[in-house]
Amino acid sequence: MMVPAVLVWRGVVALAGLTLAAEGLYYLMRYLERLRERRPRVLFFPAPVTCVRPLLLAAPGRCDCGLSHRESALSSLARLLLSARRSLDVCVFSISSQELSSTVLVVHGRGVRVRVVTDSDFMALACSQVGTFRKAGIEVRHDQDTSYMHHKFALIDGSVLVTGSLNWSAQGIFGNKENVIIIKNTDIVKAFVQEFEQLWNEYDPTKYSFSPQK
Amino acid sequence: MMVPAVLVWRGVVALAGLTLAAEGLYYLMRYLERLRERRPRVLFFPAPVTCVRPLLLAAPGRCDCGLSHRESALSSLARLLLSARRSLDVCVFSISSQELSSTVLVVHGRGVRVRVVTDSDFMALACSQVGTFRKAGIEVRHDQDTSYMHHKFALIDGSVLVTGSLNWSAQGIFGNKENVIIIKNTDIVKAFVQEFEQLWNEYDPTKYSFSPQK
């Protein structure tokens, strides 16, 4: 049986139309997904005391420490830092949390460029992990005046901003009422990138005075 | 001279079309403006030492204190708080800044409902403005445990969120490296409204214990 040519053409046109519509829908969904991803998210603390060690292993593994390993604000924060592929810029008043400093060390160990800006007062405390960072080869810069470098933010690949009230300490994570906001790919992220680069340049060790104000 | 009816009609239709197009453009511009307004903004500190007293006067006036009165991160923050019409919910670890506490008092004096949540440790310091707030009739609630109520955010009319690393102190405003983000009308604002209400309820004085942990 012969199919009339006009019907064949109609079929071809319908198929092309459907393909185009499907493709359009696919791109619309991806666009909406990107818009959704750009929306800021928030993590509230204190987090329940959980162990994040399995996240830091080179290969999937388990941990028999007896603590809970369920998702928490802390594991969400660690996962975000671990998502860095090219750079991790950390700009925090205090860095003493074992969990977060281990996370930063793992990111550095993967060959990601890690830079840390911190406060010289807090850095002088025994609990500070700055020494461990420096031993591992991570460059750390700090202020040199009597005020505090009081920011608490990090930039992942220069495109994701993590910022809030949270000091990177055990008390901050497990004790205090704190918040951390996650913002992606917006002008605000660019403003924080600029702030980081400005501080990185301002705190360049070649510019240190031999008679610091502190 | 008579104008042909068809030309009159064409003119009417063209005019109606133009009016509709202008109106459409107006709404599109307003929509884009609203979208732009929703974008987060950031204020970086330290701010230059300026005087914000003229902002706090009941009628436009000037101040002869000799300090600069130009716009700064501090005046932007004060203006935001002063824009409250129905409610101002402040949730800050420390409140000792004369400028920001005066601003809160002015907002309260205008009949706006002001609520303050703060940390009991910082509240005990001589520089805290909590006593002044309470004398003025502002309700203040605080934590009662050994951790800190370390948030640094405020909610204006339940729809604008001001949050960041900034403690509301002179050192925070004029000395430290700090940031404050302003976010409008998004899910994240709702999450902070919820957090505030939860703390407000948790710190209800009727629930205080007579043997606090602190």
- Between CA B72 and CA B49 the distance in angstroms is 9
Q: How many secondary structure helices (H) and strands (E) does chain A include? A: 8, 7
Partner-chain contact B165 A152, CB within 8 Å: yes
Assigned CATH for A39-207: 3.30.870.10
Beta-bridge mates of residue B116: B90, B140
Where residue B87 falls (left for φ over 0; alpha for ψ -120 to 50; beta otherwise) is beta
Mutate to test the interface with B, among A49, A119, A147 (most CBs of B within 10 A): A147
Residue ranges covered by each domain of chain A: 1-38, 39-207
pLDDT tens-digit series, residues B54-85 = 999 888 778 888 899 999 999 999 999 999 99
Residue B37 pLDDT level (bands cut at 50, 70, 90): low
ipTM above 0.95, yes or no: no
Average pLDDT on A85-106 reads 97
**Separation in Å, CA of B83 to nearest CA in chain A:** 22
- B148 pLDDT tier (thresholds 50, 70, 90): very high
> What is the pLDDT averaged over residues A102-114?
98
Please name the residue of chain A whose CA is at the shortest distance from the CA of residue B163. A164
Chain A residues bordering chain B (beta-carbon distance below 8 Å):
39-42, 44, 46, 93, 143, 146-153, 163-167, 171-172, 175-179, 181, 183, 186-188, 191-192, 195, 199
The residue with greater pLDDT, A200 or A29, is A200
Paired tokens of B6: 């068809």
Residue B85 · residue B107 · CB < 8 Å: no
Contact residues on chain A for B90, CB-CB shorter than 8 A: none
Does residue B62 or residue A136 have the better pLDDT? A136
Q: Is A157 a catalytic residue?
A: yes
pLDDT the model gives residue A159: 96
Give residue A171's pLDDT. Answer: 96
Residue A124's pLDDT band, with cuts at 50, 70 and 90, is: confident
Cα–Cα distance measured from residue A173 to residue A78, given in angstroms and rounded to the nearest whole number: 12
**Residue located via tokens 């003119």:** B11
Average pLDDT over residues A92-103: 96
Residue of B150, B183, B196 for testing the chain A interface, max A β-carbons within 10 Å:
B150
Backbone angles phi, psi at B46, to 5 degrees: -70, 150
* Strand A87-92 to A152-156 pairing: antiparallel
Indicate the pLDDT class of residue A186, thresholds 50, 70 and 90: confident
List the single residue in A150, A176, A191 with the smallest CB-CB distance to B147. A176
Rounded distance between C-alpha atoms, residue A148 and residue B175, angstroms: 7
At B30, the pLDDT band (50, 70, 90 cuts) reads: confident
At B45, list the tokens: 């500190």
Q: Please state the rounded mean pLDDT for residues B171-197.
A: 95
B125/A76: higher pLDDT? A76
Taken in order A167, A171, A177, A179, the sign of the CA dihedral is positive
Whole-number Å distance between alpha carbons of A107 and A58: 11
Q: CA–CA distance from A172 to each of A7, A115, B151 (Å)?
A: 70, 22, 10
Nearest-angstrom CA–CA distance, B116 and B138: 8
pLDDT at position A43: 97
Residue-level pLDDT at A214: 53
Q: B169, B96 in Cβ contact below 8 A?
A: yes
DSSP state, residue A50: B
Question: Roughly what angle, to the nearest 10 degrees, separates helices B73-82 and B98-109?
Answer: 20
- Chain A contacts of B178, Cβ < 8 Å? 150-151
Alpha helices for B39-143 (secondary structure H)? 53-56, 73-82, 98-109, 120-123, 130-136
Q: What is the pLDDT of residue A6?
A: 86
Answer whether B41 sits within 8 Å of A147, measured CB to CB. Answer: no
3-state secondary structure of B164: strand
Q: CA separation (Å) from B17 to A166, B3, B25, B30?
A: 56, 21, 12, 20
Residues A57-86: b if buried by 16+ CB within 10 A, e if exposed: eeeeeeeeeeeeeeebbbbbbbebbbebee
Provide the pLDDT for residue A41: 93
For the whole model, what pTM was predicted? 0.84
Report whether pLDDT(B189) > 70: yes
Tokens of A58: 């080179």
**A42 pLDDT tier (thresholds 50, 70, 90):** very high
- pLDDT tier for residue A207 given thresholds of 50, 70 and 90: confident
Would you tell me how many other CB atoms lie within 10 Å of the CB of residue A201?
10
User: pLDDT value at position B214?
Assistant: 53
Q: What one-character DSSP code corresponds to residue B117?
A: E
Pick the range with the lowest mean pLDDT from A131-140, B49-58, B106-115, B203-212.
Answer: B203-212
Residue A212 has pLDDT above 60, yes or no: no
Q: Mean pLDDT across chain A, nearest whole number? A: 92
| pLDDT given at position A196 | 98
Contact between chains at B150 and A165 (C-beta distance less than 8 A):
yes
Q: Which residues contact B181 (CB under 8 A, 6 or more apart)?
A: A163, A181, A183, A188, B40, B41, B42, B161, B162, B163, B164
* Beta carbons of B192 and A149 less than 8 Å apart: no
| B192–chain A nearest CA distance, Å | 9
Query: Cα separation of B62 and B69, whole Å?
Result: 9
List of chain B residues whose C-beta atoms are within 8 Å of the C-beta of residue A40: 40, 183, 186, 188
Over residues A145-164, the pLDDT tens digits come to 889 999 999 999 999 999 99
Mean pLDDT of chain B: 92
B-chain residues near A188 (CB < 8 A): 39-42, 181
Inform me whether the pLDDT recorded for A211 exceeds 60: no
Residue A123, phi-psi category: left (phi > 0), alpha (psi -120 to 50), beta (remainder): alpha
**pLDDT band at residue A59 using 50, 70 and 90 as cut-offs:** confident
Peptide bond into A46 cis (omega under 30): yes
Collect all residues with Cβ–Cβ distance below 8 Å to B86 and sequence separation of at least 6.
B112, B113, B157, B158
